[in-house]
Structure 1
């Protein structure tokens, strides 16, 4: 079943393919199907911020989160000491227990921002600890270990604190092992740093400390894919309820220690203001402030980002403050960059993890021919600019008549013109019947994503994810230059297309598809 999952309005679309700094917002999010192949966000409440995730050898996922009380003062709290969830499918979660039987003793305060990995036959838990009352003393990162993922975890004390170095913000650790050497990334709005740990993970090598991102960030996640290290960082305000501006930005580097650059080519150390870079996950009207998460991979090789966000329509509260709840969304890798949630915002509904999620046609370069006219879909006058018109024309061998069709998951494709390297797009996210189609640099919005539906007669209809309308030749014209528009499905031949495969071209080093 083909799903029209989101109604996304395009706010801005600029730049070249893969490096646009567009901002997408969703005016409404509604699910159009609820079958056994899909799940709905949010996944667990009422309160599970800063999730970290790891999968054991049996295939079970374990998630660990924050449950601290910032307003607790000097009295004890009912907060859970790192709540633990588990799931066999990554989208149905159940509460297990707390990671700790008692609070770590090196300072009295809340435990938060956990980071869990399996290392040297142990489950290792790095955690942040803040004193009570808030900001009354030194922040720091501690270590605990367990033989099993459900604990209890044995505390080994503080590894590093604010007083151990020149800066501050010593929270939000993230562990990485490279070629047998353990490292810890950390930092919160006073620079992101990396340092080498001792072999037992209980101390750090002071001479190895170096900065890898600016003061704009916290909540680091580091992930190796292909020839790149990707650093996912949170920016903005996390904890102001529905007005929070939290989001995810990403830099990549061929070296674990950087420099990490974002899709615009800017080095992350140059960002020192909230929300100044290019978001790869940002809020929408339903789900504000998505960020501070972790990444995992399912059995099909699909990557998933686990994070927290608010839900305006399911208003759970903790001590009168809106709860941050658990979300999971697919990561699409396009042009060498991660796009989370399909359009860089949290999805309400998505294809379940571990589902055989593949397109009905193979990725490749195609000529797209209208059944009624016999003419090809092309960019007018071989244009290469944003906003150039898409029309039909007799076959002439121009690369402007060839399109790279690429499956991006969840029944959705992007359709990129081979000549211009720009995407087939309904301008401004219009849902108006009769809107002319144009090309724009890829920005991952619903107006640039298409569902390809087999008509059962050797032809296909091409449906826009945002509007639900079909690619149509205006007024069933057979003339060269006739406008191509979107229109509701009628079944007429001017809405039926053949997809004539030309070739598959391997991606180039820059991540593009040709």
Structure 2
């Protein structure tokens, strides 16, 4: 079958699946950069906010606000980031079998004066006697003029040997992947760093400028024989003018290279669109992926055209065809 026939067949198949698909589950809660995890029948959502916003739900539809992770800003972050007063970005939550690890970002807006920290807890249930967030401090830091990467938007992924890695980044020279130590609180020695996704940056821009290579919010999952790297292209946080969209590539190796559907490497600007905005939802992006009941769900935020462009939580079933994810519309 020719490449053209394959593309036509795949397009028709996707359209058929979209017609049968269930609608998304948009929520009335206003969030940026959501991530989900389930403990003992209850979902916990973490998002950007003062002290890190937290919500809980039994059904991923009706959400109850919980107390923030931090009642006061971590002292190390106040000392590291000028002007930081507790507004904490882009958390990531994972469980290693004993503890929950919550990675989070602190940054000066539009600058790579940034750092990623981590806090741990034995449980996510606030009513448990074991519930207590313990902040372990800084994991990675980026410095203007020294680093051409930005230490925000972390996501933890384990390789086939259960070794923890952290993928992160926003603008500059793209998404970085670094191997962590066994305590998951610092890069492993010797350090291993990889650029797994990037977009072309105008050469004339100073190193200290975020630039125009609009890419951020990496998230990696393993499915069958492939690692899938999701990132957000274009611009967030502009309400109805937001152009965010989610793209993906895959690799048989965690460290890449990640290739898109057309065979273009993501570290050379590649990325196959998974989900993008429409007339109701502007700028959908900064996604996570969770699995439940044999289904995979894409979790992200979008700006609601029916509510003056406010950011809202979106949870949408993600389907797979020929080894590639897509979100029916």
Give 1:44 deviation, angstroms. Answer: 3.4
Change (3 A) 1:97 1:263: same
Q: CA deviation at 1:97?
A: 1.8
Instruction: Pick closer, same or farther for the CA change 1:14–1:93 going to 2, 3 Å.
Output: farther
- Pick from 78, 99, 109 the counterpart of residue 69 of structure 2: 99
Distance of 1:142 and 1:257 partners within structure 2: 22
Which residue of 31, 36, 42 corresponds with 2:26?
Answer: 42
Out of 176, 195, 205, the position equivalent to 1:211 is 195
Quote the offset at 1:166 in angstroms: 3.4
Contact 2:48-2:89 at 8 Å conserved across structures: yes
Matched, 1:158 2:133: no
> How far did residue 19 of structure 1 move?
7.2
Q: Please tell me whether residue 175 in structure 1 is matched to residue 156 in structure 2.
A: yes
Tell me, yes or no, if structure 1 residue 303 matches structure 2 residue 296: yes
CA change 1:187–1:15 in 2 (3 A) is farther
CA distance 1:135–1:293, change in 2 (3 Å): closer
Unaligned runs of 5+ in 2: 16-21, 79-83, 200-213
Which among 161, 174, 178 is matched to residue 195 of structure 1?
178
1:148 has 2:128 as partner = no
Equivalent residue number for residue 313 of structure 1: 306
Change in 2 beyond 3 A, CA 1:172/1:232: same
Q: How far 1:51 sits from its partner (Å)?
A: 0.5
Unaligned segments of structure 1, at least 5 residues: 1-12, 25-37, 68-79, 316-321, 344-514
Q: CA deviation at 1:59?
A: 2.4
Query: Within the alignment, does 1:138 sit opposite 2:148 as a pair?
Result: no
Name the structure 1 match of 2:276.
282
Match of 1:235 among 233, 236, 247: 233
Tell me if structure 2 keeps the 8 A contact 1:19–1:264: no
Distance 1:88 1:157, change over 3 A: same
Q: 1:172 aligns to what SS in structure 2? A: coil
CA distance in 2, matches of 1:49, 1:265: 31
SS in structure 2 at match of 1:64: strand
User: Cα RMSD (Å) of the superposition?
Assistant: 2.4
- 1:221 Cα shift? 0.9
Q: 1:305 to 1:184 in 2, by over 3 A?
A: same
> For 1:357-506, what aligned pairs fall within 5 Å after superposition?
none
1:129 aligns with 2:111: no
Match of 2:206 in 1: none
Rounded to whole Å, the distance in 1 between the matches of 2:68 and 2:242 is 28
Local SS of the residue matching 1:265? coil
Q: Considering fraction of residues, name the structure with more helix.
A: 2
CA distance in 2, matches of 1:174, 1:147: 19
CA distance in structure 2 between the partners assigned to 1:226 and 1:137 by the alignment: 35
Q: CA shift at 1:280, angstroms?
A: 1.0
Count of residue correspondences: 287
C-alpha separation in 2, matches of 1:194 and 1:118: 19
C-alpha contact (below 8 Å) 2:286/2:300 kept by paired residues: yes
TM-score (norm 1): 0.53
The 1:158/1:249 distance shift into structure 2, 3 A limit, reads same
Tell me the residue number matched to 1:291: 285
Aligned partner of residue 269 in structure 1, secondary structure: helix
> Once structures 1 and 2 are overlaid, which stretch shifts more, 114-123 or 136-145?
136-145
Cα distance, 1:201 vs. partner?
Answer: 1.2
